[in-house]
C-alpha cells in the first residue's frame, strides 16, 4: 500500500475554535469539510488528545476560520503547535464572539463558519464532529490557503496529532559538492528545520545566514520556540 497516495487529497487550513465566552480554545485543522448542502452541514475531525476536543465535546459547537495564503507562520504555529492548556491563544489575536458563544479568530481569515454539532463519530484516534451551519460570513477576497501550499510554499509541518500526519523524512539532502559548511538545525518542538541556505526571509533573515548568526530573539517561524529549543542535525 502506498500511503503517499493520501497526499493527493486536497485540504484547506483552518483555525477551529470552540467554547463559550472566556472558556475557549482553538487549534489548526485541515479536515473541515462541507458534508451536505441542503441543509448546509459541516464536519471536522479532531484528535482526542487535543484540548479543543474537550471544548467541542462539552459545548457542542465549533467555528472554523478559513485562513488566507497570507496567514503568517506565527499564527499557524500559535494555534497549531502550542497548547491552550499552557497559554491563552486569544490574547494577541483579533477575534469576535459568534452566535454560538465561541470566539472566532479573524486574523488572516477569508471567512468563517459556525456550526452546532448534532452528531459525532468515534474514528479511533480522532472524533469526527458533524453539525448544522448556523452562521457564516465572508471577510475578504484573498485566496484561501491549501494544505499543499502550507507545506510546499511556506515549509510548514504537521503536528503528530494531525489526522493526516505521515512521518516526514529529514531534510532533503543537497548533493555534497553543492553544500557549504553550514549546519541545519531542527526545532525540537515542531520539527521545523532551519536551513541556512534558505534563511528565514519571512522574518528578515537572508539566505546564507548560519544558525549561530541568527539574532538571539529569533524564534521558530512555525511554533515560536526560541533558539535554545533547536538541535543541530547535520554538518554540511
Ligand atoms: Fe518550532
pLDDT of residue 159: 79
Q: Are strands 40-47 and 126-138 parallel, antiparallel or unpaired?
A: antiparallel
Rounded distance from Cα 98 to ligand 1 centre (Å): 31
Rounded distance from Cα 217 to ligand 1 centre (Å): 14
Contact between 150 and 11 under an 8 Å Cβ cutoff? The reply is no
Tell me: pLDDT of 12 over 70: yes
List Cα–Cα distances, 222 to 7, 26, 217, in angstroms: 21, 16, 15
Rounded distance from Cα 145 to ligand 1 centre (Å): 20
Cell 457564516 sits on residue: 136
pLDDT per residue over 47-66, tens digit each? 999 999 999 999 999 999 99
The mean pLDDT value of the chain amounts to 90
Closest CA to 193 of 204, 184, 183: 184
pLDDT of residue 224: 81
pLDDT per residue over 84-113, tens digit each? 998 899 998 999 999 999 999 999 999 999
Contacts of 97 (CB under 8 A, 6+ apart): 21, 103, 104
Task: Identify the band that residue 236 occupies on the pLDDT scale cut at 50, 70 and 90.
Answer: very low
Rounded distance from Cα 38 to ligand 1 centre (Å): 41
Of the chain, the end-to-end C-alpha distance in Å amounts to: 34
Contact between 42 and 34 under an 8 Å Cβ cutoff? The reply is yes
Rounded distance from Cα 43 to ligand 1 centre (Å): 28
pLDDT per residue over 167-197, tens digit each? 654 555 555 555 557 899 998 878 788 999 9
Average pLDDT, stretch 31-46?
98
Rounded distance from Cα 138 to ligand 1 centre (Å): 31
Rounded distance from Cα 228 to ligand 1 centre (Å): 11
Residue with more model confidence, 162 or 168: 162
Rounded distance from Cα 131 to ligand 1 centre (Å): 33
Rounded distance from Cα 60 to ligand 1 centre (Å): 31
Rounded distance from Cα 21 to ligand 1 centre (Å): 29
pLDDT of residue 182: 84
User: In this prediction, what percent of the chain has a pLDDT beyond 90?
Assistant: 67
Rounded distance from Cα 57 to ligand 1 centre (Å): 28
Rounded distance from Cα 230 to ligand 1 centre (Å): 8
Q: Are strands 184-187 and 230-234 parallel, antiparallel or unpaired?
A: antiparallel
Contacts of 72 (CB under 8 A, 6+ apart): 108, 202
pLDDT of residue 127: 98
Average pLDDT, stretch 210-221?
93
Rounded distance from Cα 190 to ligand 1 centre (Å): 4
Rounded distance from Cα 73 to ligand 1 centre (Å): 10
Rounded distance from Cα 15 to ligand 1 centre (Å): 18
Rounded distance from Cα 133 to ligand 1 centre (Å): 34
Q: What share of the chain is helix, strand, coil (3-state, %, to 5)?
A: 20, 35, 45
Amino acid at each position: 500500500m502506498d500511503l503517499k497516495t493520501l497526499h493527493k487529497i486536497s485540504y484547506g487550513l483552518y483555525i477551529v475554535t470552540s467554547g463559550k465566552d472566556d472558556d475557549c480554545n482553538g487549534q489548526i485543522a485541515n479536515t473541515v469539510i462541507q458534508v451536505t448542502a441542503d441543509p448546509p452541514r459541516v464536519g471536522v475531525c479532531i484528535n482526542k488528545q487535543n484540548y479543543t476536543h474537550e471544548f467541542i465535546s462539552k459545548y457542542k459547537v465549533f467555528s472554523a476560520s478559513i485562513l488566507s495564503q497570507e496567514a503568517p507562520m506565527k499564527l499557524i504555529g500559535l494555534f497549531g503547535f502550542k497548547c491552550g492548556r499552557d497559554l491563552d491563544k486569544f490574547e494577541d489575536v483579533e477575534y469576535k464572539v459568534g452566535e454560538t458563544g465561541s470566539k472566532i479568530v479573524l486574523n488572516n481569515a477569508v471567512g468563517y463558519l459556525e456550526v452546532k454539532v448534532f452528531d459525532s463519530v468515534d474514528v479511533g484516534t480522532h472524533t469526527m464532529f458533524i453539525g448544522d451551519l448556523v452562521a457564516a460570513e465572508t471577510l475578504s477576497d484573498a485566496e484561501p490557503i491549501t494544505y499543499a501550499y502550507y507545506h510546499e510554499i511556506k515549509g510548514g509541518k504537521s503536528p503528530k496529532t494531525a489526522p493526516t500526519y505521515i512521518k516526514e523524512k529529514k531534510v532533503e539532502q543537497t548533493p555534497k559538492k553543492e553544500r557549504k559548511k553550514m549546519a541545519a538545525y531542527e526545532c525540537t518542538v515542531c520539527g521545523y528545520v532551519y536551513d541556512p541556505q534558505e534563511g528565514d526571509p519571512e522574518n528578515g533573515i537572508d539566505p546564507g545566514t548560519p544558525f549561530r548568526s541568527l539574532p538571539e530573539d529569533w524564534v521558530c517561524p512555525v511554533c515560536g520556540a526560541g533558539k535554545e529549543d533547536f538541535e543541530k542535525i547535520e554538518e554540511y
